[in-house]
Amino acid sequence: MYVLMAVAYVLGGALVGAGLYLVRQDAFPSWWQRWMLWPLVNVTPRVIHLQGWAGVALGASILAVGFTPVVPEIVGGLLVLTAMLAYVAGVALFGYSAYISRRLPN
């Protein structure tokens, strides 16, 4: 159980960190290959910022689930609810950013 909690902390922290990095940048890192951006077509600063917020939301979701075994039951239930909402928000942001990257420019 402690190994899974450690994996959740590392993975969630990495996603939050990468998301915050993207929120503050106007371009993806130069070492990212094109295949790593496969759902995106036109990568604009707006798309990058939305991808960053999606990473923050998904990372927060993983961290919230990771903390549930070490808190009281009522707090754990609230954390699970928060994790589900953050996950849905992250997926929605990711989908929306992919959608606007594929729209034809006006």
Q: In this predicted model, what pLDDT tens digit does every residue of 23-62 receive, in sequence order?
A: 999 888 888 887 888 888 888 999 999 999 999 999 999 9
Cβ atoms within 10 A of the Cβ of 7, count? 12
pTM, 2 dp? 0.91
pLDDT class of 71 with cuts at 50, 70, 90: very high
Q: How far is CA 2 from CA 13, 57, 68, 69, 73, in A?
A: 16, 23, 12, 10, 18
pLDDT of residue 1 exceeding 60, the answer is yes
More confident residue, 26 or 7: 7
